Each structure stands twice: as C-alpha cells, then as structure tokens.
Structure 1
Amino acid sequence: MSESNEIDINSLHHIVLRETESDSILEIDPNFYRNLSDFIGNLRKQEFDGVENKIKDTMIEMAIELTSLLIRIRLEKISKSSDLEISHLLDEEKFIFDSQEDEKERIEMIISAIINGKSKFLESLAQNHKTKKVVIRFLNEVDEIVGADLEKYGPFKTEDIATIPYENAQALIAKNIATKVHWED
C-alpha cells in the first residue's frame, strides 16, 4: 500500500486515476474512506470569506465527485469480477457488496417460489414485507391511522417519531408527510 494515511485532493485524484487505469481492484489503505471522510469534514468546518470560500467549496465538490467516481468504479469491478480479491475490498465496500448478495438471493427466492408454485410462500412474504416496521419522523400532524397490520397508530404531531408498518410508512413518505429515520451510531 503506497498511500499514506493523510488524504488531500491530490492524493484522492491519484488514487481514482490509478483505480481507473487498472482492471483489478487495487489495494488501498483499509481506513481510506474514514480518512477521506475526515478530510471532507475538516474542509467543511473551515470558514473563509470571498474567493477562499469559493475555492474551499470547489475542493469539497471535487472531493465528492472523485469519491463517488471511485466507489462506482470499484463496485463495478466487484460486480464484473469472477475471481474477486476480497482482501482488497474495504469494509465499506463489503457492506455494499453484502447487500447486493442479499438482493441476488431474494431474486432467486422469488423466482424459485414462482416457478415451483409456492403461492402461499409469496403471499406470506408480501404480507411480512408490508407489515415490517419502519421508523419515521412526521413532518406534519396526522390523525390516527390503521396500519397494514390492522393495528391503530397515532395520532401524531409534527416531529413525532414512530415505528409503523412499511406500507403505511411508504405512503406517508411519498406524500411528504413523513421521512424515514436512518439510525447512525
């Protein structure tokens, strides 16, 4: 690993360029994304006036674009690779890759159920998905609702947080009445 732990816009550009020029996933510092996050976070915290502030904003924009490009390039290599070098994946990429594997398994499970006549299984799967609980934050007041699980929820005030069935949450989110809550450690 030739990258140092210190990230700046030049080192980020260099890493993206190297990754673009290679057919395989390159080995980079295991803390790369965390260091990159620190770099961008520190840039955002800096306060400047005038031209210096525009330069800072441009650097942040460049870092964001390069980060997005790097992740997309590496994930594309992962999806196309038949002999994936798992040790070169960073933990954050493994997290994304795991969700893609789950997606593939779900697709196969649905196809198998359909072609093997397991309609009861599909019905059960659909019902479980509709009623799985989702945490949302209300953006507007909402009267009591009956959930997809036939339980009563609410009433809710603006900024209330509640756990309700997925189907109901999606309907409220689509109407901009609520937003999904993403838990962060």
Structure 2
Amino acid sequence: MSETNQIDINSLHHTVLREIENDSLLEIDPNFYRDLADFIGNLRKQEFDGVESKIKDTMIEMASELSSLLINLRLNKILNSSEIEIGFLLDEEKFILDSKEEEKERIEMIISATIHGKSKFLESLAQNHKTKKIVIRFLNEVDEIVGADLEKYGPFKPEDIATIPYENAQALISKNIATKVRWED
C-alpha cells in the first residue's frame, strides 16, 4: 500500500491530489475512510480557546471538504470507467455502488412490468412501498394520524421515535415535522 494508516491533513491533501492527477482509480488503504473518520472525529473532540479553536474549526472544515471531494472524485471515476480494478474499491464505495445496482434492478422491474401489462404487480408494488415502515423522530407535537396502512399512530410529542408507513413519514418529513432516523443518529 502506498498510504499509511495514520491520517493527518497533509496526508489527506496528498491523497486527494494524487487521485486528481490520475485518470485511473488509485489503490488506497482499505481502512482509509474509517481512519479519516477517526481523524476528523478526534479533531472535533478537542477543545481549544481563541485562535486555536478557530484553527481547529478550519482544519475540520478543510478535512471535510477534502473528504467529500475525494469520495465524489473516486465515485465519478468508478461510475464513468469500464475498466475499474475491483480490488481498489473500498468497502464504503462498494456500499454506494450496491445501491446503484439496486436502482438499476428496480428500473428494469418497473419497465418490464409496464411493457408486459402487469398492472396488478405495479399496483401491489406501489401499495407495498406506501405502507413499508420507516423510523422517524418527531420534531413537533402531532395528533393521532391514520397511516397509509389504515392503522392509527400517535399522538406524538417532540423527540418521540416511531415506525410509521413510508407515505405518512415522507409527508411529515417534507413539512419539517419529523426527520428520518438513520443508522448514525
């Protein structure tokens, strides 16, 4: 491996520059994103006053921007190349690509059902999607609601967590009444 496990702002900058300067996907340490997350997380935990605090905040912002640039750069290379060295993909990149593959499969499923006249299948798919449950956290008080599955939910207070049908959750999220709970929350 050409990268070390210890990440600092200089090594991150160097890695991003190397990736920008090369047309092909570079081999980097398999734990790179985790090590990078540790580096940024440790920076965030440090407490400073005055100028040192501003320097720390600037370093966090710089590391965050470089991280985003690197991830987007590598994903663009992966998605736009026909000859990617699969061994150079990091696990986190494979996770992202897996969702792209799932998206392609769903598109093909809808196209196939549509052109083969399978309206009942499409109706079932739509209903299942509307009523699939997701976890949300309430930001405001909400009275009892009737879900897309015709079940009753609530009432809810701010900070309550609930599992409700997707369609109802999306309506609440779009009105900033609730937020989707993600793994890292």
* Bucket of the pairwise TM-score, normalised by the shorter protein: over 0.9
Secondary structure of the residue aligned to 1:137 is strand
Residue 129 of structure 1 aligns to which amino acid in structure 2?
Answer: H
Q: Does 1:49 align with 2:37?
A: no
Q: Does 1:122 align with 2:140?
A: no
Displacement of 1:85 in angstroms is: 1.4
Question: Per-residue displacement from partner, 1:102-128 (whole Å, max 9, x unpaired)?
Answer: 111111111122222211111111111
Displacement of 1:153 in angstroms is: 1.1
Q: How far apart, in 2, do the equivalents of 1:34 and 1:170 lie? A: 31
Q: Which moved more, 1:40-49 or 1:9-18?
A: 40-49
Q: Calculate the TM-score normalised by the size of structure 2.
A: 0.96
Corresponding residue pairs, total: 185
Could you list the runs of 4 or more consecutive aligned residues of structure 1 that deviate by over 4 angstroms after TM superposition? none
Q: Does 1:80 align with 2:65?
A: no
Displacement of 1:176 in angstroms is: 1.4
Q: How far apart, in 1, do the equivalents of 2:183 and 2:13 lie? A: 31
Match of 1:18 in 2: 18
Q: Does 1:156 align with 2:137?
A: no
Q: How far apart, in 1, do the equivalents of 2:89 and 2:23 lie? A: 14
Displacement of 1:183 in angstroms is: 2.6
Q: How far apart, in 1, do the equivalents of 2:157 and 2:122 lie? A: 36
In structure 1, stretches of 5+ residues that fail to align are none
Q: Calculate the TM-score normalised by the size of structure 1.
A: 0.96
Displacement of 1:184 in angstroms is: 3.8
> Contact conserved, 2:2 with 2:27, CA < 8 A, in 1?
no
Q: How far apart, in 2, do the equivalents of 1:159 and 1:99 lie? A: 30
Q: Percent identity?
A: 84
Secondary structure of the residue aligned to 2:163 is strand
In structure 2, stretches of 5+ residues that fail to align are none
Within 5 A, what are the aligned runs for 1:27-176? 27-176=27-176
Q: How far apart, in 2, do the equivalents of 1:54 and 1:45 lie? A: 14
Secondary structure of the residue aligned to 2:143 is coil
Displacement of 1:178 in angstroms is: 1.1
Q: How far apart, in 2, do the equivalents of 1:21 and 1:90 lie? A: 19
Q: How far apart, in 2, do the equivalents of 1:109 and 1:13 lie? A: 42
